[in-house]
Amino acid sequence: MESIRPSVTVVGSFAVGLTLRAERFPVKGETLLGRDFDMGPGGKGSNQAVQAARLGADVEFVARLGQDNFGEIGTKLYAQEGVGSTYLVHTPNCNTGVGFIVLDKQGDNFIILDPGANALFTPDDVDRAKERIQNSHVVITQLEIPMETAGRALELAQQSDAISILNPAPAQRVPPDVLKHADILTPNETELRIMLGRAPDAIVNPIDLCDELLQMGVQRIILTRGARGALIVTPDGYHTMPAMQVEVVDSTGAGDAFNGTLATYLARGMPLEPAVRHAVAAGALACTKLGVIPALPTAEQVEAALEHGQA
């Protein structure tokens, strides 16, 4: 592939996030007073595309948005951030995806998502971006879009010798015919359990679950573990990547910062371990500001965090 810049294609979701902060999460039937209301662009695919562009990658985002005011937020964002929008489809008579996010005082979150137009995203939409995928270094997708659509993106990437990355979030069972097309999986510990049919709180050794994935043909698993960093698992063994210690303000976009950064540095030809080290740093930096897009770091910020040993 002839490309001056690392080429990353993101096949995924866009949603507008509406965020509130409270001292704690409410219990059933309870109303709490909140603060710090924020509305801004989100969706795992969109966030990862912006992160990759902010790090200097040549990015195209393949997605469906609604023909509404929320969809216009996405269009303006991609123009500002330098994310390619050639393969965006604006869907009439369907709302753009919307996510409701609640943060507690520790910065932990829960999210409820209405996928909207994302639910209408089809494998045919991915096929329209086939030429772009064939000329990409890395293709990354997630599960806020239909499973068959994410699977088609991985399949086309693998056929084109691009590195295919599946970020299996939000957590759901992933069939073997999708897993077989993923060169790299990036679950957190809950997603790892659920994607293999375990209960979300099942007591099981994550290494054993990663071994199951290896036996199914997956070559590399990068298990994200929040404040405990990441675990790289390959047929040759496993390696622990320590976290960077930060004061957590908002953890909402940390996983997307991690995945967008991983995709970018792998697209640059960086070996897996240093690419994961950069991704861990980006994920930590993303926790230090309120809101997702404002918190996604630049390449200079990631390099500075690594140089000083902490974000």
DSSP state letters, 164-189: EEEE--S-----HHHHTT-SEE--BH
- Residues marked active site are found at 256
**Least confidently predicted of 100-104, 194-198, 208-212, 218-222:** 100-104
Distance CA 144, CA 79 (A): 23
Residue span of the structural domain in which 288 resides:
7-24+37-308
Segment 11-43, tens digit of pLDDT:
999 999 888 889 999 899 999 999 989 888 989
Distance CA 297, CA 199 (A): 34
What secondary structure letter does DSSP report for 267?
A: H
Segment 145-193, tens digit of pLDDT:
999 999 999 999 999 999 999 999 999 999 999 999 999 999 999 999 9
* % of the chain residues with pLDDT over 90: 71
CATH number, residue 183? 3.40.1190.20
pLDDT tier at 310, thresholds 50, 70, 90: low
Distance CA 201, CA 258 (A): 24
Contact predicate 96/122, CB 8 Å: no
Residue 210 covered by a domain: yes
Residue 80 covered by a domain: yes
Residue 29 covered by a domain: no
Residue 2 covered by a domain: no
Residue 32 covered by a domain: no
pLDDT score, position 246: 84
Q: How many domains does the chain contain in total?
A: 1
Handedness of CA 66, 69, 72, 74 (dihedral sign): negative
